[in-house]
A and B are shown apart, each in its own frame.
Chain A
């Protein structure tokens, strides 16, 4: 029965076929290549070329609207590390990104778990309502939270003053602006995690819960031994994507505090904006942008290392 193993060369010789070259492949599938060509060109023009150009800019002293740009070597990077505001913004950005991502993960999981328990008829409506912040424009979210938290006419202030007689200034006082920014950001994007978790939950085979129940596992046990393992890979996906998005988050924090009071809640994204469009130091703004890319990439690499280990989960 067993057929003898033949080398690739022997088979090619026997049947007179040549090794497939890239030209062969293009000739065979030219229509497919034709279809992806426009996307490829646009991506190159609008994405890859600007990135390369941007990285080059960080070695110059280009300004917005300026006519000349001289090569200055690593000056911009030296300026970065010696700049107190940048160092502060980097630290605060890291705290902001990781706390927002972590809380979004937890709130999203809870929302997905609760929605998963609901019967089908009300589930769709309730999901839409709970997920709605994610589908609102970040600017609109900023307006809502501003109306909610503003120290002069905000709803929370009025409410607390009526109730307990005093209220902190949520966007200005002490640690409150930091908390406010994190809470508002979690509110806006937790549904991202909820959607992915919801899909993962509904794909857990019900027989596994039944088998676990027959094996004697209670509700919590079933969650730990059946549900959680199915959520490991979705978690890594959410972490990687959410981290990148949260590093780049600009609109809502900018609207709420714009980095203030003063520069006390300065995020890298807002600092980039100010450096580029207020101070017109375009090259320096790009340098900060490079740091943000490195931050997001470092996180992604960490998660990818983690997901590699997760892959062994099922083998």
Chain B
């Protein structure tokens, strides 16, 4: 049983211009065998969190527990963790086999034969059994990555920590290794905390995604939860590629219970099913979010008050889809369409979207108020649900 629990974890660095709060009051439970991806923009505190769990940084406040045991004051070697670094941090003068066996030699009582056997098993698992006698300098980036991962799995730790392990690889290899790490996790089922700035990596690999910004927890939930029900504007904007379209809108109520979202460029009618989710008075300001793939070309049957018009700026052909970048009175709007839709540059383009697909955020707090016709779940419920679900 190796559950990783962070309880109010805080890390303050003393910088040249006063203290810097890198991680603030972070509460996080990672269940035994769960694969949690911590994601956020650079400087959000995700790597600091990982390094603090590893023991490479000391926690300023809060408690960290692995399998119920407090690890705050334990040396890194005694925490029963293994970490994979972004730069791999392989020892350049040691062979692959020596690199992988080094930790076992130092911190266990295994005989040389046992260590050799475990190194070979791990190497087979990573597909690097032919490289055992080579030095890291003669390996490709992908092979070095495998050795670094192999060095971690050979220790059979209770928690794996990955610090952006794939960001030094080219795009194709990165996707391949992503699948391979996911397969490895299914095979070993070891509790994993994986840090990345790549939201696509997070979406594809995670059992649960933890979004951080400015050292604070924004949302923890399954990939679908953070994608379809972001708790605030930051998460909505960060997750998804191309990112969500954002418009400032004002609510106008009409006499028969319906309402309109009004912007200087368009008016969009919404029904009670949306407005019933929150307190909304005439003239209130909101932020409207709508994902690029939820936008469709409008036709003659589309009502005027469901139509938005923009000027085509750029059309990106990616093969399976087209990304159309529209200019709506100076604001960029991204539309993802079938590859058949390819409007001319500088022509007008009318599009529409379903009210089920919209996200409304409070203009001041940027908290989510409605996801289509559903009201958002309370911010922390997503965490608990996922935790119980495992």
Contacts and interface: CB of A to CB of B under 8 A. Distances in A.
Contacts of A230: 92
A212 B81 CA distance: 13
Interface in B89-136: 89-94, 102-103, 106-107, 135-136
Interface string B60-95: 000000000000000111000111011111111110
Contact of B87 (A207, A213, A217, A315): A207
A231 to B, nearest CB: 11
Contacts of A47: none
Nearest to B103: A215
Contact of A214 (B83, B86, B91, B94): B83
B135 A314 contact: yes
A313 interface: yes
Contacts of A213: 55-56, 75-77
Interface in A208-242: 208, 210-217, 221, 225-226, 229-230
B89 A205 contact: yes
A209 to B, nearest CB: 9
Given A207-B85, A314-B92, A214 B137 contact: no
B87 A214 contact: no
Given A214-B83, A214-B103, A221-B106, A207 B77 contact: no
B236 interface: no
A212 B54 CA distance: 12
B127 to A, nearest CB: 22
Given A214-B103, A215-B106, A313 B138 contact: no
B115 to A, nearest CB: 13
Interface in A183-227: 205, 207-208, 210-217, 221, 225-226
B106 A207 contact: no
Contacts, number: 69
Nearest to B56: A210
Contacts of B93: 229, 313-314
Nearest to B137: A314
Contacts of A214: 54-56, 76-77, 81-83, 103
B89 A210 contact: yes
Q: Which of B75, B85, B86, B88 has the most CB of A within 10 A?
A: B85
Nearest to A209: B89
B107 A215 contact: yes
B85 A211 contact: yes
A208 B107 contact: no
Nearest to B51: A210
A181 B103 CA distance: 47
B91 A216 contact: no
B107 A216 contact: yes
A130 B255 CA distance: 85
A229 B83 contact: no
Contacts of B89: 205, 207-208, 210-211
A216 B135 contact: no
A205 B87 contact: yes
Contacts of B56: 210, 213-214
Interface string A276-315: 0000000000000000000000000000000000000111
A215 B87 contact: no
Given A210-B56, A211-B85, A315-B137, A217 B91 contact: no
A229 B91 contact: yes
B78 to A, nearest CB: 8
Nearest to B106: A216
B135 A211 contact: no
A217 B106 contact: yes
Nearest to B148: A211
B241 to A, nearest CB: 29
Most buried by B among A211, A212, A221: A211
Contacts of A225: 91, 94, 102
A232 to B, nearest CB: 8
Nearest to B75: A213
Nearest to A312: B135
Contact of B138 (A208, A217, A315): A315
A205 B86 CA distance: 12
Contact of A215 (B77, B86, B136): B77
Contacts of B76: 210, 213-214
A236 to B, nearest CB: 14
B83 A211 contact: yes
Contacts of A314: 92-93, 135-138
B108 to A, nearest CB: 9
Q: Which of B54, B86, B91, B136 has the most CB of A within 10 A?
A: B91
A229 B137 CA distance: 14
Given A314-B93, A315-B137, A210 B85 contact: yes
7 closest cross-chain pairs (CB), A and B = A216-B107, A215-B103, A207-B89, A216-B77, A229-B93, A314-B137, A216-B106
Given A210-B76, A230-B92, A315-B138, 10 more contacts: A207-B85, A210-B56, A211-B83, A213-B75, A214-B83, A215-B77, A216-B103, A225-B94, A226-B91, A229-B91
Interface of A: 205, 207-208, 210-217, 221, 225-226, 229-230, 313-315
28 contacts: A205-B87, A207-B85, A207-B86, A208-B90, A210-B76, A211-B83, A211-B85, A211-B89, A212-B91, A213-B77, A214-B56, A214-B77, A214-B103, A215-B102, A215-B103, A215-B107, A216-B77, A216-B103, A216-B106, A221-B106, A225-B91, A225-B94, A225-B102, A230-B92, A313-B93, A313-B135, A314-B135, A315-B138
Interface of B: 54-56, 75-77, 81-83, 85-94, 102-103, 106-107, 135-138
